[in-house]
Structure 1
Amino acid sequence: MRLRNGILALALFSLAACGESVPASTSVPAPVSADDLAKVVLKVGDQKGGSKTLLTTAGLDRTPYRIEWSTFSSGPPLLEAASAGGIDIGAVGNTPPIFAAAAKAKIAIVSSSKGNVDSDALLVPSASPLRTIADLRGKSIAVAKGSSAHGQILLTLKKAGLSTQDVKLNFLQPADAYAAFTQNRVDAWAIWDPYTSQAKLEAGARVLTDGRGTANGYTFQVAGQAALADAGKNAAIKDYVTRIAKAQKWSDAHREDWAKAWAAETGLPVTVTIAATAQGPDLPVPLDDAVIASEQELADAFTGDKVLPSKVDFASFVDKRYAPDLESVR
């Protein structure tokens, strides 16, 4: 499962007035007792078919603290809520943390996962004459602005010696982009699973190029600074991110079960979710220098294309306090 659907641009992320950025690494509170942990209410931001469904399906939803779930349509408002203290933690794709960092949000990236990048695709209709990235010159490409697919387009074009000035980007969210693609109102569509699988199965889409060599496939658990500074919530977050990592491992070993649960929650055809999960789910990876460098490259691509107003220092929004606990899961 990916958490990139509906990711919006920085213009929709209303944190620009939050003031100066807060260093991600803060002092770690002391451990709490089991009795104190039982009193904690962890406020978790989710997206449909996301973490709550994953934990429940994997049988890992019985926590020693209470979870209060809030559903968000996309990553930016979820991170806005985390920065403001409306939620304590939530999962997002690889781009919302970059835009949140640019808006100087009071958040920290605390764990990372990686999915396959084969399904991060640039699609064309089956009968399209386009065969190479160079053929895109002057053509229209549907893409969600500020999404992982947007970043992938920047890097893909750059790799081929092109830029966004050589193509026509049509900024459309997935549902509108799917309609435009199937009605031949755009020449290509940059998108991710499950939409990639849906377009291939239902519209006969052809993959012009995929994310290998350009996309990084990362997703993140991102916490609010206030929650990380609270002893009880810090303890709950440590347990929560560990459970999510275990659930991701479970989904890899039970792909069909996860596909059925995903379809039931989202309303997608089970044939689509089975095709998407066959590519492999997101799995926990160390929040290490390689992850940070890849995210910095993506941030720099947005800055270079003037989507972001200035350079973002991604590393300053990373907090590795839970790394030892997560290492035992991997």
Structure 2
Amino acid sequence: MTPFLFPRRLLAVLTLGGLALTTQAANFTVAYQTTVDPAKVAQADGAYEKASNSQIDWRKFDSGAEVITAVASGDVQIGYVGSSPLAAAATRQLPIQTFLIATQIGAAEALVARDGSGIAKPADLIGKKIAVPFVSTGHYSLLAALKHWQIDPAKVQILNLAPPAIIAAWQRGDIDATYVWDPALGVAKQNGKVLITSGELGKLGAPTFDAWIVRKDFASKHPEVVRAFAKVTLNAYADYRKDPQAWLADKANVAKLVKLSGAKAEDIPLLLQGNVFPLAADQAAALGAPTTQAITDTAGFLKAQGKVEAVLPDYAPYVSNQFITN
């Protein structure tokens, strides 16, 4: 529909669930990952389409690096990435903005040693094969863990595998350990031992987070759509955080998370409780100096590891809180 078909006053009062309808459909593509978060329920229910008055092509990706490639190509307008691929993308000066902190990662990502691998303690990782998606939050956390344990990464065989390949390699016994998220994490934990989680690493000074990013050209043309997307996500978070136990008691909620994440139903409570899902009041403050500094620190770590060539003097242009509404 075109804007002139409706008087401005009428457009101002047309709402859906408290969100203003866009005057023109902005059909777009969203890259999501298999993380376990309350917003998966809104995704399954079609809440994003209703709020933005748009058709959305939801595409599943296995890693943030793949999402960044799709966003950079223009095939994807909004994408879900971890802080490590985000820092790498910003350092490459891709036309993106972080408009929402999706989660502060806790137990949802972890380093797991396979039973029978001979790994009983961190020092036993030397000489072993550890699989992780490169330039992911898991990769960043793995390197941070090795640094904390004073283990030279060169003394460990770090393999670049996507989560589906990690599952296959784990089941074949081809790898000794993995730093990954669900559903691969759940598979690994069935016959493996958790050595450290991302939440524990965060307390040691290496926090990681997931974020929603948007192409700047799309955000400039459709700011109302980005605001609606953020609002739906934050409403889902608020619904969960209001009463987590009641939310989890609703089998429909759990079923939707299982379908979109691939995680097992019995693992959903721990995975949700292991992360922090920031509400609107937290987002407004976080999407400023804290996130900019976190990206800067992550980029510095990646440079030290030879994963990026340089660190930008300022990452503020890649973070914005203008799409957050209370």
Higher helix share: 2
The 3-state SS of whatever aligns with 1:95 is helix
> 1:31-61 CA deviation, whole Å, 9 max, x = no partner?
x954782313141413266798432456734
**Corresponding letter in the other structure for 1:226:** D
Aligned in 2, Cα 1:109/1:138: closer, same or farther, shift over 3 Å? same
Aligned in 2, Cα 1:283/1:319: closer, same or farther, shift over 3 Å? closer
Which runs of structure 1 show a deviation greater than 6 angstroms over 4 or more consecutive aligned residues?
A: none
Deviation at 1:206, TM superposition (A): 0.7
Pairing 1:104-115 to 2, within 5 Å after superposition = 104-115=93-104
Deviation at 1:220, TM superposition (A): 1.1
Equivalent residue for 2:59, pick from 46, 62, 71 = 71
Pairing 1:281-320 to 2, within 5 Å after superposition = 282-284=277-279, 285=283, 286-312=286-312, 313-320=314-321
How many equivalent pairs are there? 290
Distance 1:59 1:281 in 2: 24
Partner of 2:197: 210
Contact 1:139–1:167 (CA under 8 A) maintained in structure 2: yes
Deviation at 1:251, TM superposition (A): 4.0
Pairing 1:17-96 to 2, within 5 Å after superposition = 33-34=11-12, 37-47=22-32, 53-57=40-44, 60-61=47-48, 62-63=50-51, 65-73=53-61, 74-96=63-85
Partner of 2:165: 176
Distance 1:259 1:172 in 2: 28
Indicate the larger mover: 45-54 or 134-143.
Answer: 45-54
Partner of 2:323: 322
Output the TM-score relative to the length of structure 2.
0.76
Equivalent residue for 1:264, pick from 242, 245, 259 = 259
Contact 2:108–2:272 (CA under 8 A) maintained in structure 1: no
> 1:100-135 CA deviation, whole Å, 9 max, x = no partner?
223321111111132441232111123444233233
Aligned in 2, Cα 1:311/1:176: closer, same or farther, shift over 3 Å? same
| Identity %, equivalent residues | 18
Aligned in 2, Cα 1:138/1:247: closer, same or farther, shift over 3 Å? same
Indicate the larger mover: 214-223 or 165-174.
Answer: 214-223
**Corresponding letter in the other structure for 1:219:** D
Output the TM-score relative to the length of structure 1.
0.75
Contact 1:85–1:226 (CA under 8 A) maintained in structure 2: no
Contact 2:104–2:209 (CA under 8 A) maintained in structure 1: yes
The 3-state SS of whatever aligns with 2:179 is strand
> 1:289-323 CA deviation, whole Å, 9 max, x = no partner?
23332332222222111122222453331122124
Which 5+ residue runs of structure 1 have no aligned equivalent? 1-31
